[in-house]
Amino acid sequence: MAETADAVIIGGGIHGASLAFQLTRRGLTPVVVERRAVASGATGRSSGLVRMHYDLEAESRLAWESFRWFRDWAELVGGECGFTRTGFLKIVGPAHTARLRANVAMHQRLGVPMLLVTPDDVRRLAPGFATGDFEAAAYEPESGYADPPSAAGALLQAARERGARLLQDCRVTAVSVAGGRVTGVETTRGAIASPVVVNAAGAWAAEVGRMVGLDLPVTTWRHDTMFIRRPPALRPPHPTVIDGAAAMYFRPETGGLTLVGLEDGNPLGLSPDGDTDHALPGFVERAVGRICRRIPGMEHGGLHSAHGGYDGITPDQHPILDRAGPDGFYLDCGFSGTGFKIAPAVGVCMAELILDGRAATVDISAFALGRFAEGRLLAGEHPYGNLWR
Ligand SMILES: Cc1cc2nc3c(=O)[nH]c(=O)nc-3n(C[C@H](O)[C@H](O)[C@H](O)COP(=O)(O)OP(=O)(O)OC[C@H]3O[C@@H](n4cnc5c(N)ncnc54)[C@H](O)[C@@H]3O)c2cc1C
């Protein structure tokens, strides 16, 4: 007889883990099916930035609701998520100063701790930064970064303690449908009967969508990161930074390292099964040049390592949180390279959508699938433009 579950979650990344945890808090016993190992997709490569600054209020609300989970993780989830408070700076070029001001005001209205700061303030917060190319920045004193694989592992551990099951090395090969309703999945290790199936398959979400005849507007986004060893003069950790003026972000890492990623040059549409152990040719040179312009003393640093990862990306670079296709099929995907920091709240909201018919904790209706067919792509209220270009 086939195994049965209250819900089957396809994908053991941070979103599958977060939803599994939240469903068990609501009394369900889901099964998470992961074709490789927990956090073997985007989650295992994620830079883990935890900040609230977005130009889209609906996404800021998800990040803000998620923040308390990262901050109070041991109490709310158990285990560790590696949250490290470094302070966070959002730097924009002069053309975006007015939008930055408006976005800071939006976050302050939501209650997010965020200040508008000057280049002089930035030099005090981050000695060693070059500050001649921007007029203002936003500062989040409480923000920083977390450790995505630890967070996913802790959520799944807590979910399993409440009855969830995790199948690793197990690929979903088909979604079963009868009478317009999902009835379960076929996997490489047998069938699982369930009235609810959730697509949390990250960069593989389009492939899973096709299993129920959905043509999801989700392609793949390749993103490389590098770690450099800071020279002794720069050893104290610096804030976490999204540097829109330089199309770059960076944050400190333990061991005197700095992680650097670039907003441009992230190819779309590659196979998500490609090599992730090495960065693409040319990435390290570009990233070294940019971090050395922002922090000139980094000239004396050294390359530690570089690698890449894949996430699912949508045309407006915002997620799809919805039900679609046969009854009982849900979409928790398309996180477009920024999905880690919102995962706790998305898990809460998707559990509400599945169990109550709509999300109440945060309004996620903006992230409906229908926006693409209707030509209503999401854009920030005071947009900086696409994050990835
Ligand atoms: C290099 C990099 C840096 C990033 N940095 C940040 C950051 O600083 N801050 C931030 O907020 N976000 C960041 N992101 C984005 C964030 O990491 C992702 O949005 C998030 O991890 C996506 O989680 P997920 O669970 O949706 O997908 P994934 O972690 O990719 O998990 C999906 C899982 O589904 C499994 N799967 C696929 N198909 C099947 C199938 N048929 N059967 C069973 N299992 C299947 C895969 O093996 C995979 O493990 C970054 C992403 C990358 C790649």
| Whether 136 and 103 share a structural domain | yes
CATH assignment at residue 177:
3.50.50.60
20 domain residue, yes or no: yes
| Whether 247 and 109 share a structural domain | yes
| Whether 128 and 166 share a structural domain | no
| Whether 135 and 159 share a structural domain | no
**HEC secondary structure over 266-295:** CCECCCCCCCCCCCCCCHHHHHHHHHHHHC
Question: How far is ligand 1, taken at its centre, from the CA of residue 203, in Å?
Answer: 7
69 domain residue, yes or no: no
Ligand 1 closest atom vs CA 308: 1
| Whether 239 and 131 share a structural domain | yes
Distance CA 298, CA 3 (A): 55
By most ligand atoms within 8 Å of CB, the mutation choice from 8, 9, 35 for ligand 1 is 35
By most ligand atoms within 8 Å of CB, the mutation choice from 21, 188, 311, 314 for ligand 1 is 311
| Whether 228 and 209 share a structural domain | no
Ligand 1 closest atom vs CA 333: 26
Residue 1: its pLDDT value, please? Answer: 55
| Whether 229 and 117 share a structural domain | yes
| Whether 95 and 223 share a structural domain | yes
Ligand 1 closest atom vs CA 309: 53
| Whether 231 and 296 share a structural domain | yes
Determine which residue's CA is closest to atom 12 belonging to ligand 1.
338
| Whether 228 and 301 share a structural domain | yes
Question: How far is ligand 1, taken at its centre, from the CA of residue 337, in Å?
Answer: 8
pLDDT in tens, the chain (389 residues): 579 999 999 999 999 999 999 999 999 999 999 999 999 999 999 999 999 999 999 999 999 999 999 999 999 999 999 999 999 999 999 999 999 999 999 999 999 999 999 999 999 999 999 999 999 999 999 999 999 999 999 999 999 999 999 999 999 999 999 999 999 999 999 999 999 999 999 999 999 999 999 999 999 999 999 999 999 999 999 999 999 999 999 999 999 999 999 999 999 999 999 999 999 999 999 999 999 999 999 999 999 999 999 999 999 999 999 999 999 999 999 999 999 999 999 999 999 999 999 999 999 999 999 999 999 999 999 999 888 88
Single residue among 287, 311, 335 that ends a domain in this structure? 311
- For residue 171 and ligand 1, the question of a CB distance below 6 A is answered with yes
Question: How far is ligand 1, taken at its centre, from the CA of residue 148, in Å?
Answer: 10
Ligand 1 closest atom vs CA 173: 41
CATH assignment at residue 107:
3.30.9.10
Residue indicated by tokens 């409440």: 162
389 domain residue, yes or no: no
| Whether 166 and 212 share a structural domain | yes
13 domain residue, yes or no: yes
| Number of domains present in the structure of the chain | 2
Question: How far is ligand 1, taken at its centre, from the CA of residue 13, in Å?
Answer: 5
Single residue among 296, 311, 326 that ends a domain in this structure? 311
| Whether 231 and 210 share a structural domain | no
Single residue among 311, 336, 363 that ends a domain in this structure? 311
Residue 127: which domain range? Answer: 85-142+219-311
Count of Cβ atoms closer than 10 Å to residue 368 Cβ: 16
Count of Cβ atoms closer than 10 Å to residue 189 Cβ: 12
| Residues 6+ away with beta carbon under 8 Å from 21 | 77, 155, 156, 158, 159, 162, 164, 347
Question: How far is ligand 1, taken at its centre, from the CA of residue 200, in Å?
Answer: 9
**pTM flag (> 0.95):** yes
Number of helices (H) and strands (E) in the chain: give both, helices first. Answer: 11, 21
Task: Find out whether 348 and 69 touch, Cβ atoms under 8 Å.
Answer: no
Nearest 5 degrees, angle CA 301-CA 238-CA 247? 80
59 domain residue, yes or no: no
68 domain residue, yes or no: no
300 domain residue, yes or no: yes
- For residue 208 and ligand 1, the question of a CB distance below 6 A is answered with yes
- For residue 203 and ligand 1, the question of a CB distance below 6 A is answered with yes
CA dihedral sign of residues 314, 320, 325, 326? positive
104 domain residue, yes or no: yes
- For residue 34 and ligand 1, the question of a CB distance below 6 A is answered with yes
- For residue 304 and ligand 1, the question of a CB distance below 6 A is answered with no
